[in-house]
Amino acid sequence: MIARNVGSNNSSSSEKWQEQLYDMLLESIPSSVLLVDRSLRVMSANRNFLEKARRDERSTIGVSMNDVFPTPILEFTRSEANVRRVFEQGELLRGEQITYRGPGIPTRTYYYTVVPVKAKSRVQCVMILMDDITEKVRLVEQAHLVQARLANVVEYANDLLVSTDSEGLIVTWNPAAERVTGYS
Sequential DSSP letters for 56-100:
-STTTTTSBHHHHS-HHHHHHHTHHHHHHHHHHH---EEEEEEEE
Residue 167's pLDDT is: 95
Local confidence pLDDT in tens for the 184 residues of the chain: 444 444 445 557 888 888 888 888 888 888 899 999 999 999 999 998 998 888 999 999 999 999 998 888 888 888 899 999 999 999 999 988 888 777 777 888 889 999 999 998 899 999 999 888 889 988 999 999 999 998 888 888 888 888 899 999 999 889 998 988 898 8
Is residue 55 helix, strand or coil?
A: coil
Closest CA to 43 of 21, 18, 68, 20: 68
175 near 161, Cβ under 8 Å?
no
Strands 3-4 and 32-36: unpaired
Tell me the C-alpha distance between 47 and 53, whole Å: 10
Cα torsion 70, 71, 74, 80: sign: positive
Residue 154's pLDDT is: 83
